[in-house]
Structure 1
């Protein structure tokens, strides 16, 4: 598993990021809940303090009078040492008594009517951040009805301390849950990737020469990967079987002429007649030429079958390629009594391809034609669509055998000097150029016509 791009790291990243985001939301929610709980608890104390003060308000000597009990303010004074303020105001909004002249709540209207009401608010007063409770109440007896306000406020130290205490308790729970979630996540990811580790170890432990299918119990997603690997191994088995068959055929094809060369040389050494030596040398020269040609064809076929061989296709003129092929082979064909000609067009016929491969295809088709007894060979070029063909008047190939001769070392006829590789090479070249290879009768119903039909070249 690569350090730079790890599937384990990817899974952890994509799973931990939402988990971290969820943890952050939980911490935020814990803080909000802690603050709300602290505010609710202290607001209850404010309510009790204002109620205790309102119950002590009396009417004496034509004015409001308050005998403040110590417990009314002590309930707001916690260990956090908050500062507590209170004030009593009459119905006209005049300050009566208290330890501070606190601001009123604009939501309240002292009009002498209404029910007992209590309002909370946060207020900044003389540089202090206060939580204030304002209670609107009234004195009622058989002689008078007098409204008043009790204003009580305290600083927020106790609220903050309680909020932090609740938050720490909540954070302990959140952190414990987060730790448990991370441990479970690590175990889950490791467990989920365990089959992949088993698959990697099974592949690494295999003999490089073993191409048998993988037999390993895996989850459905990895089972698909296992089947894909088994399909690849099956294709590799077929490729290796073809290679082994090709090597066996090639060794047989090369062993026969080499054994002939050795036998002719040994026979010539036993002779004293110079003419016999000459005859042996001519036969050895012909055999070595065929062997060299066979070796070149084997190299061409191996090069075409190489899956890493992907040369760039360039624009080529089929007319020019055919003309040069006829020029190269004319002397050899003329020496064998073969009439080699060209039937082309006046305009260039351009296709995208590889020059040496198309030259090799023409060489194999021309050599096959005269090797199997043709007396007239025509290289034909057509333009709509692009066609490159070699026609001869030889014995031809029966229609039932035309697919078989595309296999390496398969010869349609026993006579002739061919190796059975020419048409296989041409077929490989046609596939490399996305061309359609067609084997048909010659123009007069005699012989063979082998043509490559190319796709239209892009402008």
Structure 2
């Protein structure tokens, strides 16, 4: 089963990843803050304990003496049942009294031994116990004796950890609440942001497949561009369909008469018994079928040229070689009809960008029109400056007032039943597809017709 990608899932993933990372950072920061807050709270208790002990130290009988009240250490006792240790040392570092021989502070702190009433904190490891040590250096407050001493108070970290966990749990509730609110807001925001896309999808799905009218749906700017792109696609499809409908209408109109003629000729021949009449009917049917085939080919060519989506890739070709090849192809047919078909070509190659089969179709239509309308001399001419492909005849020509009308489909200058009125229309379409300019003018001495395709100058693509 192929899992389809989802824009909703993709947006949610890309937005949730930074939120999860931010949530992890907030949790880590909350843990640090809880530890720091617990340390500050218990360090204040350590400070109060050392101060309470310092106030009870006296000088008696030439030595330091301490009557420690229970409240001095009870303030460090919490529900976590920490173990509390204390010790007093004289100015020379000798142990005076206490319930444990606690170590001193590190050397960087020891440099401040002369600091009066200084208080220092340090985390230590003592007898496999993790302790928080508070050290106060002070002296006896007596005008007769100012003996210096040091108070060391330490306690285990159970209370600190318990307080840090309590603070962290409180922060976790706040963080999880904010995360839940952010997630809900994110889901609603993404769904609301993608709602116009859902409306667009439903509008497209609900349309009749035969309907190519533009989409009229209010959308945000980003989706409005998609809507306009879809409308452009629908417009191209409308042009293609109109082109197909026009082709069907033109083909049915133009092919109806010759096909009906073929059917009538065949029916009439079947009623005859004379082989000569059969031969005559078959000859007429052959001519009609040839004209019908030619008409069908011209209709197909015209439809392909009129297709707005048809954009062929042009190639480099030599107009002189093209003209030479076509004259050679149609020379025998023209010679049998006593028509002088020739070519006037330059000494050098004339290179243009084009499609050889389309240009051959254009010259074929021009030569066929000249033959059909009574020309006795047809000249295919190529010139280099500017690149031109020209077909000139000495036939009846077309009056200047009707030359533009001849470019319309099915418009004929005469009532010749063999003509389809598509020849010049196809030539005009081929010229436009090559970026060439089509020109109609009288032939030499004002007789006949000269049709010129002038190509853009410059190096061919």
With normalisation by structure 2, the TM-score equals 0.86
Alignment CA distance shift 1:403-1:29 (3 Å): farther
Secondary structure of the structure 1 residue equivalent to 2:147: strand
CA RMSD of aligned residues (A): 3.2
Secondary structure of the structure 1 residue equivalent to 2:317: strand
Q: Which residue of 2 aligns with 1:25?
A: 25
Alignment CA distance shift 1:404-1:94 (3 Å): farther
Q: Mind listing any 5+ residue stretches in structure 2 that lack a counterpart?
A: none
Q: Which residue of 2 aligns with 1:72?
A: 72
Question: Could you give the per-residue CA deviations for residues 28-67 of structure 1, whole angstroms, max 9, x where no partner exists?
Answer: 2222221221111111111112112212211122122223
8 Å Cα contact 1:372/1:395 also seen in 2 = yes
Q: Which residue of 2 aligns with 1:440?
A: 440
1:41-440 map, 5 Å: 41-98=41-98, 99-104=100-105, 106-107=108-109, 115-124=116-125, 128-268=129-269, 277-304=278-305, 313-383=314-384, 386-397=387-398, 405-411=406-412, 413-415=414-416, 417-432=418-433, 434-440=434-440
Distance 2:403 2:150 in 1: 114
Shift of 1:273: 6.4
Distance 2:309 2:187 in 1: 42
Q: Which residue of 1 aligns with 2:451?
A: 449
Question: Could you give the per-residue CA deviations for residues 215-257 of structure 1, whole angstroms, max 9, x where no partner exists?
Answer: 4444454344434434433443343233222211111111111
Question: Could you give the per-residue CA deviations for residues 371-424 of structure 1, whole angstroms, max 9, x where no partner exists?
Answer: 334333222334456443333344445566555544443445544733233334
8 Å Cα contact 1:395/1:448 also seen in 2 = no
8 Å Cα contact 2:438/2:454 also seen in 1 = yes
Alignment CA distance shift 1:360-1:371 (3 Å): same
8 Å Cα contact 1:104/1:151 also seen in 2 = no
Shift of 1:353: 4.2
Worse overlay, 171-180 or 358-367: 358-367
8 Å Cα contact 1:87/1:102 also seen in 2 = no
For this pair of structures, how many residues does the alignment match?
A: 456
Distance 1:319 1:127 in 2: 105
Question: Could you give the per-residue CA deviations for residues 277-313 of structure 1, whole angstroms, max 9, x where no partner exists?
Answer: 5444433322211111111222334445567767665
Q: Which residue of 1 aligns with 2:15?
A: 15
Distance 1:160 1:383 in 2: 97
8 Å Cα contact 1:110/1:147 also seen in 2 = no
8 Å Cα contact 2:388/2:452 also seen in 1 = no
Shift of 1:361: 2.9
Question: Could you give the per-residue CA deviations for residues 430-450 of structure 1, whole angstroms, max 9, x where no partner exists?
Answer: 454x43232232563551223
Worse overlay, 289-298 or 267-276: 267-276
Worse overlay, 370-379 or 35-44: 370-379
Alignment CA distance shift 1:12-1:383 (3 Å): farther
Alignment CA distance shift 1:309-1:107 (3 Å): same
8 Å Cα contact 2:373/2:396 also seen in 1 = yes
Distance 1:368 1:193 in 2: 61
Alignment CA distance shift 1:70-1:418 (3 Å): farther
Secondary structure of the structure 2 residue equivalent to 1:325: helix
Distance 2:140 2:423 in 1: 122
Alignment CA distance shift 1:198-1:344 (3 Å): same
Distance 2:184 2:435 in 1: 60
8 Å Cα contact 2:412/2:419 also seen in 1 = yes
Shift of 1:342: 1.8
8 Å Cα contact 2:236/2:309 also seen in 1 = no
